Structure 1
Amino acid sequence: MKKKLIITEKPSVATDLARVLGVEQKNKTYYEGNNYIITWAYGHLLTLKLPEDINKDWQNWDLNDLPIIPKNIGIKPLPKTKQQLKAISRLAKRTDVESAIIATDSGREGEAVARYILEWIRFNKPVERLWISSQTTKAIREGFSNLRPAEQFDDLYASALARGKADWLVGLNVTRALTTKYKDNLSAGRVQTPTLSFIWKQEQEINSFRPHKFYKIYLVYQGQTADLLLKNSEQFETREQAEKVVQGLQKKSGLVEDLKVKQNMQDAPLPYDLTELQRTANSMYAFSAKKTLSIVQSLYEVHKIVSYPRTDSKYLSTDIKDTLKERLSALSGFDSQAKAYLRRGAKIVQRSVFNDQKVTDHYALIPTEESVQPAKLSSDELRIFRLIEKRFLGLFAEKFITETTNTTIGFGSAKFVFKQTRVVKPGWRFDLETETKKTKVQLKLKQQIEGQFIIKEKLTTPPKPLTEGTLLGKMEKFGLGTPATRAEIIEKLTQSELVKRTNGALITTPKGQQLLKLVNKSLASPDLTSKWEKSLESIAHGKVNYMDFVKDVEKETRRLVSEIKTSEIEYRDFGVTNKLCPECGYALKERNSRDGKILTCSHCGYRRRKDPKVSNHRCPQCHKKMVILEKNGQSYFRCLNDGTTEKMLDKKERKKKISKKEERKLLSKINNEDPEESPLAIAMKKAMEK
């Protein structure tokens, strides 16, 4: 019987597909049934080759070799997942496999994951594409009943190839050029460098800010205050100026010159795309972009209660309109408001959300038809799901209606305005208390009043540093990265020690600031990258030729490397310490690593921890945790409190040595038995003798 080979992006997705398709026989690297063989990747199983894989002469980083622009970069297997790649290759070559189905994530990178595999194993049989926006049973079944020819996604794959080649050419060449010229690990790239520049420019605005005092005049009437209207940015720089104006106002009577009542109607906000969700989660819960993406990915893959997360659209396609009632019904046991909308017939009020022209690969983030089980969600998952769910419920909600009353009172040419707003109908803001009281200031047109004035001292405030949320907004505005990659870019900036997180804000390090002085101005600007991102989108839609784009990137790469080579800007490494390498005498550099801060020698490769590692081993004297020290190839425990030092035993020695817990247990049993006859007593004596 002929079978189809299904390739998924990860094991959990393969398990879901096997369940839905009734593929029950599980093997180490695949599932098998009558019609399908389902296997999986672990994300990317292959990656672009490094320069030294193409030409051994490029293994040593040499400024004279740059720029490196090979005709064909090629791909190679990732070492940790080679066995899975071999397993997929064996399955693909089976005589009963007649075709393949790409079932990786429905996006640019998901396409690349599968296409790289098929290219590497030289698959020459027909290929189809599963394209779904949620992992529910219903969506999977519908997706398999509407499989599409893989050729329809060739342009999407070309876009992925173009993105990979652009990042390789620019990132690798510029990073090598900076690193070799200035003899420090300086990482740059077409997206991360302009992102770094955003953070630094905001800091410069903050640093150049100088606060100054100014004064404002207020009219007080019936316990309420109204601002004095000033033209443009006009302010009173001194109290004397404000007091002089007030003296003039006190000689006049006020007249109600205008009274306007305006009703404002506001539609519910559209559902989330990934970037806006990350911004909201950062603002409300201080979640990093990476954490929010991880949580929403879990809601999609594990719990299956939200649609595809890596979307850049806030709109829905018209073909899912009929599914919204079922999605609302799935929320009825989770949210009473959903139940209320169902009783009203699940009428969709926000009809503008359906716009096929504004849906690219995937529609907005919304709940699926799966029932929500809050007990199975973590507190963070529940927070993120509630954000997505509230936006979805807004599609069925009435408008938020307010009434604003603006009362203008004139004292000659000076005008004061009382602005008062009350809620007429909460609509989609159903959790807001409705204001039913009348306006607090009761005035009539042409009414005269006697004014009471106060002067308040104010201070100008500096711009705020960028948070991950505000940075994501800037990246989206200038087209830097995609919803799927922006979190990764921010993480890379912190891991490269170019940016650090401080009290919820992102701050550049001295190394990051120096990098921006060394790197090409065009690379630090968002304009070049924004232009390329638009080209990548156009390639995905068949509007721009792949080779034309690559030639443009190659030309830009040559220019960028040339600028770095001829630059005369000096560089100072802020990581250099006054400690010398014990091997060669060069100054050691301080670096961050996954294991804490380390000291390294860029000359001979020597490295050690900056501070001793704290262990869970307790001091026998003071019972405080001891640190681990190394000397002459031997590890020791030392107590920093009283200086107690113990040799660290290897695994064999630790097995031989009896633990204190075991010692107490044995003693307890011995005390309850006759010492002369007890075999435990004999065992205890032997153990204590060792």
Structure 2
Amino acid sequence: MLYKHNNTLAYESERNIFMGKILVLAEKPSVGKELARVLNCNNNGNGYFEGSKYIVTWALGHLVTLASPDTYDKKYKSWRMEDLPMIPQKMQLVIIKKTSKQFNVVKKLMTRNDIKELVLATDAGREGELVGRWIIEKAKFRKPIKRLWISSQTDKAIKEGFKNLKPGIEYENLYKSAVCRAEADWLVGLNVTRALTCKYNTQLSAGRVQTPTLAMIIQREDAINNFIPRDYYIITGNAKCANANSYTLQWQHSDSGKNRIFNNEEAKKIVSKVDNQNGKIIEVKKAYKKKSSPLLYDLTELQRDANKKFGYSAKQTLSIMQRLYENHKILTYPRTDSRYITTDIVPTLSDRLKKISIYPYSKFTSNLLKSSIKGNKNFVDNSKVSDHHAIIPTEQKVNISLLSIEEKNIYDLVIRRFLSVLYPPYEYEQITVKASINGETFIAKGKNVKHKGWKSIYDKDELLVELDNNNYNNEDTISDQFLPDISKDDKIKLTGVKTIKRQTKPPARFTEGTLLSAMENPQKYIHINDKQLEKTIGKAGGIGTVATRADIIEKLFNSYYIEKKGKEIIPTSKGKQLISLVPSDLKSPLLTAEWEQQLYSISKGKLNSTKFINDMKKYASKLVLDVTNNTKSYRHDNLTREKCPNCGKYLLEVNTKKGKMLICQDRECGYRKNIAKVTNARCPQCHKKLALVGKGEGQIFVCSTCGYREKLSSFNKRKKAEGSKLSKREVTKYIRQQKKENKEPINSALADALANLKIK
């Protein structure tokens, strides 16, 4: 039957009843509620909202996951080496028990006779596709499917998205790649984890991303421990000329251009040779330069800067970004690996600028809005955007007062980066002066700023140091200084010549920020002799994805393979021993890079998914054999003299990300007890974070840096005397919140499959 256009609500309602309703499946309740509001679904059901045209329901992350090994065979309930490898002929899906109630709600809605089609509105990415498709498959939904694919949660984006729904079939290959990722992680992760645990009688786990990441940390630690420092010398002096102020010159080798001298006697000879001697300027180079702003943020770059500037962990930054995206709707989709936007976004830039025209950004937006906003190749490139464009502000009006301190910090990073790409380049004149004194070469550098451009947005920001100078950590870099008017052949006298003694330094330990960089570009951080392999790793985008790297780092902490000392990440004895026990190729970033490349090819329909899984089955079998044939042993070196109250075995002391804990060495027991919890309270002597030790009234704050100790009761009295509102109740509340955060599960299919493992 044909219907003429009619805008009356009554007519539309009658038509929708006749035509049937559309079921919308979101990934989380918060997103589902917002979709329901925009789609006018005002009737609140049990786990869904219903309107005249749409019914909106949601998952709770994964509602369905891959079955555990004992689903395939009861013998797998016991962990025995002789039962490995576990290679199911066909992988099965099961409903996750703790969220089965919501699955039943979704399934019941899917089986309603008035549902004509489904709109998959889970997160627009590989993992989001898996969340929705597994539910659809397990519920045996067979009606048409369409896909909502949006990069922001604003009302405008949602409405536009529903006007431009894509056929579900277009994302079939993305789903296949997601299934391959999950099944490969099951086959490799569970088999190797079970083999290692059985072989060495302690809970050990390995995986295609976490193991090469841990290997990089240990390789860096080995380089630090094996490093032998060498003394070297830098020579500087003051250049004086008749009609200008003095400036500093630094000695440079005339042939190699290096400024380090490793022989003290040689350095002394040069000093005596040039001190108080006359010379002349032999070269003055002036180069006019333009420097464009850094690229827009993808998730990894944002996590890196947030860690550097605010000390936020990768997972913490992602969590903050999710709130800014889902709840406040003021930033676009966070799990993106692109640092560019597409041409269709350019016409919306003016509107986005208007929405962020608040203090302290209004002075920058007003300048930009005076003329038409145009895109350029520095930040607009369709070919460099895959699933989602870079993180930018949405077209939603901002109310800064509603944001927490952490949310304001992350929002500020994104907004300043967004403004900077719209601003003109930073323009300056680079001046390099070269002088000859008694046959030795000295140089100086200066910079005359012509136009601050985008750098005006970062005034007084410490991040500007890195944005300005890629060698900011190199103490030997010749710093820019104010230089007087200098010309070639000017006569000078070099005075105050001195040597500065320094030592070569080992590579720095990883922080969460630099570890993210290493995961993204592992070829820059490890020794790879094969150029082709380097290219393969770079092309694959490193190890892990922007969506998974934060969880991988957290898992390494939670498995006690790494710990923190300040901001630095240090491998534990358990982590070091694990790397010595796992098969060698599982430690290489090349393996996971090749996997990601193949998964990408599957998502584009260029590679057969069945072949990939068959290869993974063979590989899992090989890894089990490698573990079986290993002749090395595992030894606990963190045993205490305190016995487990459950099984009587000696407890292990481990350093977690949030403090110290005692855990039972018996993986079957799983007993654990907190003994010290890192808090936000600061030491009055060295201002480092204090750890809270003990129980009840006997609790004591202890500083691991300087040794300061203070009873909790005294701490509260001191804070009260200082006018602080902090109380024992608030400290207790904070500790309770930290415990809750520590128990939060990683929302992934593999995590659900490993949920019953008692990791120690």
TM-score range with shorter-chain normalisation? Answer: 0.7 to 0.9
SS in structure 2 at match of 1:569: coil
1:224 matched residue in structure 2: 247
Offset, 1:356: 1.2
Contact 1:194–1:524 under 8 Å retained in 2: yes
Deviation string, structure 1 residues 56-87 (Cα, Å, up to 9, x no partner): 11111111111111111211111111011011
Q: Is residue 440 of structure 1 aligned with residue 512 of structure 2?
A: no
SS in structure 2 at match of 1:577: strand
Tell me the distance in 2 between the aligned counterparts of 1:517 and 1:588: 24
Q: Is residue 449 of structure 1 aligned with residue 449 of structure 2?
A: no
Offset, 1:127: 0.7
Q: Is residue 488 of structure 1 aligned with residue 513 of structure 2?
A: no
1:365 matched residue in structure 2: 391
The worse-fitting range, judged by mean Cα deviation, of 484-493 and 421-430 is 421-430
1:348 matched residue in structure 2: 374
Query: Percent sequence identity over matched residues?
Result: 40
1:239 matched residue in structure 2: 264
TM-score by length of 2: 0.78
Deviation string, structure 1 residues 203-253 (Cα, Å, up to 9, x no partner): 111111222322222231144211111226574334332121223335863
Tell me the distance in 1 between the aligned counterparts of 2:165 and 2:123: 14
Offset, 1:601: 5.7
- Change in Cα spacing, 1:108 to 1:442, as seen in structure 2 (3 Å) is same
1:563 matched residue in structure 2: 626
Tell me the distance in 2 between the aligned counterparts of 1:513 and 1:346: 57
The one of 583, 598, 608 aligned to 1:545: 608
Q: Is residue 305 of structure 1 aligned with residue 305 of structure 2?
A: no
2:78 matched residue in structure 1: 60
Tell me the distance in 2 between the aligned counterparts of 1:82 and 1:367: 36
Tell me the distance in 1 between the aligned counterparts of 2:386 and 2:501: 51
SS in structure 2 at match of 1:490: helix
Deviation string, structure 1 residues 238-270 (Cα, Å, up to 9, x no partner): 433212122333586312111111111011112
2:154 matched residue in structure 1: 136
TM-score by length of 1: 0.85
Contact 2:212–2:586 under 8 Å retained in 1: yes
Deviation string, structure 1 residues 172-215 (Cα, Å, up to 9, x no partner): 11111100000000011110000001111111111112223222
Offset, 1:290: 0.3
Deviation string, structure 1 residues 321-364 (Cα, Å, up to 9, x no partner): 21111111111134223432344224236443221111000000
- Change in Cα spacing, 1:156 to 1:225, as seen in structure 2 (3 Å) is same
Q: Is residue 100 of structure 1 aligned with residue 118 of structure 2?
A: yes
Tell me the distance in 1 between the aligned counterparts of 2:80 and 2:273: 76
Tell me the distance in 2 between the aligned counterparts of 1:333 and 1:580: 59
Offset, 1:607: 3.8
Contact 1:426–1:432 under 8 Å retained in 2: no
Offset, 1:420: 0.6
SS in structure 2 at match of 1:471: helix
1:504 matched residue in structure 2: 567
The one of 14, 31, 51 aligned to 1:13: 31
Deviation string, structure 1 residues 540-578 (Cα, Å, up to 9, x no partner): 111111112112222221221111100101211224334
SS in structure 2 at match of 1:500: strand
Tell me the distance in 1 between the aligned counterparts of 2:221 and 2:648: 37
Q: Is residue 326 of structure 1 aligned with residue 344 of structure 2?
A: no
Tell me the distance in 2 between the aligned counterparts of 1:518 and 1:8: 42
The one of 669, 672, 679 aligned to 1:605: 669
Tell me the distance in 1 between the aligned counterparts of 2:184 and 2:696: 53
Q: Would you say how many aligned residue pairs link Structure 1 and Structure 2?
A: 619
Q: Is residue 162 of structure 1 aligned with residue 180 of structure 2?
A: yes
2:473 matched residue in structure 1: none
Q: Is residue 410 of structure 1 aligned with residue 482 of structure 2?
A: no
Residue identity opposite 2:248 in structure 1:
T
Contact 1:500–1:506 under 8 Å retained in 2: yes
Tell me the distance in 1 between the aligned counterparts of 2:646 and 2:130: 45
- Change in Cα spacing, 1:640 to 1:4, as seen in structure 2 (3 Å) is closer
Offset, 1:146: 0.6
Deviation string, structure 1 residues 588-617 (Cα, Å, up to 9, x no partner): 44567999734426287384647599xxxx
Residue identity opposite 1:228 in structure 2:
W
Tell me the distance in 2 between the aligned counterparts of 1:595 and 1:214: 40
- Change in Cα spacing, 1:606 to 1:309, as seen in structure 2 (3 Å) is closer
Contact 2:26–2:56 under 8 Å retained in 1: yes
The 5 A counterparts of 1:579-618 are 579-580=642-643, 586-590=649-653, 597-600=661-664, 602=666, 605=669, 607=671, 609=673
Residue identity opposite 2:316 in structure 1:
K
Residue identity opposite 1:416 in structure 2:
F
Tell me the distance in 1 between the aligned counterparts of 2:652 and 2:500: 53
- Change in Cα spacing, 1:550 to 1:325, as seen in structure 2 (3 Å) is same
Gaps of 5+ in 2: 1-16, 241-245, 461-479, 523-541, 678-694, 700-710, 714-760
Gaps of 5+ in 1: 614-622, 628-638, 642-690
The one of 396, 405, 410 aligned to 1:379: 405
Q: Is residue 465 of structure 1 aligned with residue 509 of structure 2?
A: yes
Contact 2:659–2:676 under 8 Å retained in 1: no
Contact 1:300–1:307 under 8 Å retained in 2: yes
SS in structure 2 at match of 1:451: strand
SS in structure 2 at match of 1:461: coil
The worse-fitting range, judged by mean Cα deviation, of 372-381 and 224-233 is 224-233
1:398 matched residue in structure 2: 424
Q: Is residue 625 of structure 1 aligned with residue 697 of structure 2?
A: yes
State the superposition RMSD in angstroms: 2.6
- Change in Cα spacing, 1:449 to 1:587, as seen in structure 2 (3 Å) is closer
- Change in Cα spacing, 1:605 to 1:387, as seen in structure 2 (3 Å) is closer
Q: Is residue 474 of structure 1 aligned with residue 497 of structure 2?
A: no
Residue identity opposite 1:597 in structure 2:
M
Residue identity opposite 2:190 in structure 1:
L
